[in-house]
Structure 1
């Protein structure tokens, strides 16, 4: 059934994001961009957050205040960013009700009534305000994009877990970003209303041309071999494994790129072969990561990480890099280009294998062919085929 028959191309999609538009580029940034080609327009609603703010959130608050100036700004591909006024006390009933009304008012100021009534709601967040907002929008079709199992996040308000449960019951359709979440969703609701929408990659951004790129200044003094990681550095990184590997292989240099939150990385930065260069512009990441001799995903194996499908895996592959990673369920389908390794001995052997094999033309081509199967455009086309049978 075509989009034209279903009338999606004439509708507006309202996208409730778990992260800010000006944050690190993740699934909630890439999906709205490709969605905008299928809908009349996409409204990206900035998040109210999933917990009350603390002193550690001061940088995010300042960034949000600065970004308020661009509220309603039209971005390429017919995508608009909407920044309602929020009380940053998510999980508090009175604050959630206020945030609901503020969001509703802002959306109605952007869309006329007829467009608003025919809009499609897509949420990638179990923000508690949605339990008050969605019932006020009874005519809209609701899609829940399940990207994390928030029942495993013990530091969040109970209202977040309640909202996740509510969305899994009330949404007209649920997409899951990992096989673990897909299988769980099929148990919790009718399987025909559940779809798999994997994480993916922006191929144009990550596939560098064949020319040898100049080594970025930020890592010019780091010796090879470089075992690299980029992304948010937090509690899911296995710092014990990283430290053990760095001590066991002092001739290897371990490079970490990205913002750090409660990571425990500080205690091992004194080692001479561990390097952290902080968050870098998205535009520079391909050139930085192209210098990796081995790409590494040093995640802990926990119930939380088993439920995720890391975006960076596909970005590594698009660069032509083979990846060493723990045996997460979604990575098993990626063949010989993602090498599963758990524990110190397996990980050391896998990294050594990648370093010794190098990245020849055939190897790079194989990695990129796998990545191409997970381009955001291709994944969204598949999701549309499933939605076409449900949205009327």
Structure 2
């Protein structure tokens, strides 16, 4: 098997990232070797981190996963020390990773392209015999919640020097990198999955519902969400996703309901049927640079959207109601609930806006970038 793309990303098969979406569309014509995630922070003594360490150890004991079908890459579970600020850990990880991966790349008729969406792969760049290296930047790691910022930012700076091409998910992210080797590839959307009619989820509450799905982490504005829920006691505010921070204050509000994480393919059963989709983000550097997948997914589901303000709304502002204040946010939700007329027509307008931004089209754009490289 000749590997065309050696990819360092998050764990394959979890909640799909932009890298997973893109690679799925390249698999038909390329052999992809996917290396599961390398840590971006030191582990903490908590249940979540201990559980993740246990899962990683179990994965290491399993045999390498061969390519199962055209929809899956070959998978490698690496051994790596999750201490990005340690020079010793970086040296050890370089040896562990190169020794693990070289057998997969021997006897290649053509050198692969190395792609990483994680700065923690920096020390193997240039060691895999690759013909080119690409850094795909989907987040501002210097501000991303749950990351050891200083050491990861230093690794990113080294990575940018080593790579021949940087692909950024937003213009704001692209500003960080050398213009002469940086291109912008915005996130896409699975128009077919989110646009095809789906039955209403059985656990979606009755009555007017405003919903959010995604990780409940440091960028989610809990205070705003609680204030808005208090302003609209006759609405139910649904949350879907893993809790990566303390959400006990949210759950004390009687009209806020947390349904926990859901598989990605089940999300249309919610977003097509709640009355408003919400993007209640804090104003910080991470959100200023973000390009959230769920914005386009909400629109592809035909869902009205109320959001706090951030740059990635540009191009969609005529379809999104925007407010950073609880009273304005609540008023926008109520207005949609009271005045959303020609509902089916508006659904089609929202869907049509993002139809040309499918992951299929984004993958075609990526193929051109790879061919030029």
**TM-score computed with the length of structure 1 as normaliser:** 0.87
Task: Report what 2:69 is aligned to.
Answer: 76
Count of aligned residue pairs for this structure pair:
366
Consecutive unaligned residues of structure 1, counting only runs of 5 or more, are: 1-9
Residue 305 of structure 1: CA displacement?
Answer: 0.6
- C-alpha distance in 2 between matches for 1:271 and 1:83: 41
Alignment map for 1:1-392 (pairs within 5 Å)? 12-17=4-9, 19-39=10-30, 41-56=31-46, 57-68=49-60, 69=62, 71-77=64-70, 79-115=73-109, 118-127=111-120, 130-137=121-128, 139-153=130-144, 156=148, 158-185=150-177, 189=178, 191-209=179-197, 213=199, 215-219=200-204, 222-262=205-245, 264-355=246-337, 356-357=339-340, 360-389=343-372, 391=373
Task: Report what 1:6 is aligned to.
Answer: none
Residue 157 of structure 1: CA displacement?
Answer: 5.7
- C-alpha distance in 1 between matches for 2:309 and 2:16: 25
- C-alpha distance in 2 between matches for 1:227 and 1:326: 15
- C-alpha distance in 2 between matches for 1:230 and 1:52: 27
Classify the secondary structure of the residue corresponding to 2:126. helix
- C-alpha distance in 2 between matches for 1:359 and 1:21: 41
Distance 1:75 1:192, change over 3 A: farther
- C-alpha distance in 1 between matches for 2:340 and 2:367: 40
Residue 295 of structure 1: CA displacement?
Answer: 0.2
Moved more, 143-152 or 102-111: 102-111
- C-alpha distance in 1 between matches for 2:104 and 2:370: 25
Classify the secondary structure of the residue corresponding to 1:244. helix
- C-alpha distance in 1 between matches for 2:268 and 2:248: 25
Greater per-residue helix proportion = 1
Consecutive unaligned residues of structure 2, counting only runs of 5 or more, are: none
Over the aligned positions, Cα root-mean-square deviation in angstroms equals 2.1
